[in-house]
Each structure stands twice: as structure tokens, then as C-alpha cells.
Amino acid sequence: MTTPLLICDDSLVARKQMLRALPPDWDVLVSFACDGEECLRYLEADRGHILFLDLNMPVLDGYAVLREIRARDWPTLVIVVSGDIQPEAEQRVRDLGAVQMIRKPLDPAQLQTVLVEFGLYDPSEDRRLAVHPESPDRSTTWHDVLQEQANIAMGQAGDLLARLLGVFVELSVPKVSMLAASELNMALTAGSSHHKWSGVSQGFVGGGLAGEALLLFSDSSVEDMSALLGYQDDNAPHKELEVLMDLSGILAGAFLKGLGEQLHLSPRITPPVVLGTHVTMDDLLHHNSHLWEQMLSIEVSFAVENHNILGNLLLLFTEDSIPRLQETLDYLRPDPEGAS
């Protein structure tokens, strides 16, 4: 009997990679959901006896979906597939009933091992081709690939910070967009005009790409960051600057490394430079307003749970880098010929 299987991920690239990784002779009927709310509607309609679930999604995240499945006592077998690989994230999804957590980027061999382990698939059985996708989806773009790669890279950066500090890092879905310098300032100052910020910049160049990583912290974050990093002397000179540069080295460094590995590039990263402390976002970003007229922006917001730490990691690519980046990302698309 064909098994209803549901893939829930806000990333079109991730949904297609998941579909491609399924054993081709597995007798399942595959449906797709783009967020947690849509996922619950499919489950309510009995279209997901097996669920591959992402964690960081808009509308309703994976944790909320797991809580709802438990509350309604649905017999859905859930395997989480996520770029958020913090130890605390895995413990939480297991506590909520997920049987396994697989990290992105997805390894088809690992997936098959998990399916065999839970008795969901037996490769020794003689079958014909049997995976039935519910319906075709639109073709992916290089923009889709970059967003998913940024999601994975930020998951790795969040994992590093979580392990070093013994905390849980909450991550947003990355936003990828083309911006003018004036639009960047407007986008980041929206809703934050009454707050003060501190920021650090690290440049990167190599493989035809160049740009800048900006780590921006809300003003109230510094004391909590200092305590977590173990700075004992509150009156030590330059303590605040050292805290900002240490955090930039961890988060921006890990993010750039993770993204570079997926692009098969190793850009050189310059040492961190403090842009300003306790200033408005507009003042903080003033330094780059004249550098490039257009830029490609990746923005991820983050917060440290149970601590007053809130910030944004912003990756800006120069206009000259975009053709090279697009060429590389097109090569990595799951449907490079434009087929769905």
C-alpha cells in the first residue's frame, strides 16, 4: 500500500533536494508544504503518515508543528531535516516526538540508512520505480539556492556559538535581496529607529567574490555577551570592543566559512573592524553608503534565548561579484535545466 509522505520546508531548493534523495523505488505518495500551517492542514487531511520537517520556517516553525502533532495525538512519524544543528535543537525535537534529526545539506546515503533503521524502507525488496510526487513545482532560481545555502551556513554559525557559550541561539529565515545603499539603511532602520546599535565589519575577497560581513548588535546586548564570554573585569579598557570582535570572529567567520564550503570557494576574510558603538543604525551603516550603488544582501537576525542578546548578521556582495555568484549558484541548482 502506498504511504502518504509529506515534505515540509519553506525552501523550494530543500524540498526538491529531499525529493531527489528519496529511494526511487520507495512506494510513497509525496506532498509538499511550505510552512507549518500548511503542514498541519495536510496532516489533518491524512496526507502525511511520514513527515520530513524543517525547523526554521515563516508562519509556523517546526517546533510548533511538533507540539501540535503531539497535542492532537496524530500517529505521524517525524524526521526533522534542518540546518539548525545545535545540540539543544536536537534534544528539543526529540523531546517533542521526532524520531530522528538529519542535518542539511542532506546526504542521500544517510537518509537511506535512517529509513532502513526505522523499518520504513528495505533496499533488498524487489520493486519497480515507485516514488510519486504530488505535483510539479516551479523551477528553482539561483536566488533560491543562495537562500538555502545561507540558511545552512547560519545554522553552522549558530551551532558554533551555542556550543562555545552553552546557550540556545534562535535564528530567522535568511532574507536575500538586491538593494541600493539607501534601501539597505531603510530596511534595517525600520522598526529600530529608537534603538542604539554596535557593529563590526569583516571584508572578504576571493574566487571572484568580494564584499563585507556586518555583525550588528542591539545596544543592550553587550553586557550579556561580556558575561557569556567570561570577561571578568567590567572596567577593563576596550572590553566592549574585544567582545564585539570576538563575537564577529565566531559568527561572521563561521557563516562565511560555511557558505564558502558550499560554493567550493575559500574567500580570504579580513580582521574585524568596529564600526561604532551605541549609535543609530543609520550612523552605523553610513560608512558603506558610498561604496556600492547596488549590492546583494543576505540578512539573518538572531537572538540568544534567556539572554538579552539580539542582533543581525548581514552579508553584502559587491555588484561586480553578482555575475560570478549567479554562475556558481546556477550550477548548484537541483534543476539546472529548468525542469521541475
Mean pLDDT by 10 residues, the chain (340 residues): 93 93 91 96 96 95 98 97 94 97 94 95 76 72 94 94 92 90 67 73 90 86 79 68 86 92 89 84 68 84 90 91 91 65
Buried b (16+ CB within 10 A) or exposed e, 297-324: bbbbbbbbeebebbbbbbbbbbeebbeb
Pick one of 3.40.1550.10, 3.40.50.2300, 3.40.50.1220, 3.20.20.300 as the CATH number of 142-328.
3.40.1550.10
How crowded is residue 192: how many other Cβ atoms within 10 Å of its Cβ? 15
Are the C-beta atoms of 274 and 199 separated by less than 8 Å?
yes
pLDDT at 33: 95
Residue 250: φ, ψ to 5°: -75, -55
| Grid coordinates given for 189 | 532602520
pLDDT at 198: 86
User: Cβ-count burial of 239 within 10 angstroms (0-12 exposed, 13-18 middle, 19+ buried)?
Assistant: middle
Are the C-beta atoms of 340 and 316 separated by less than 8 Å?
no
Question: ∠ at Cα 282 (268, 210), nearest 5°?
Answer: 20
Q: In the chain, where are the structural domains located?
A: 3-118, 142-328
pLDDT at 226: 81
Rounded to 10 degrees, what is the CA torsion of 223, 228, 231, 236? -10
What's the rounded Cα separation, in Å, for the pair 148 and 106? 12
pLDDT at 115: 96
Tell me which CATH code domain 3-118 carries.
Answer: 3.40.50.2300
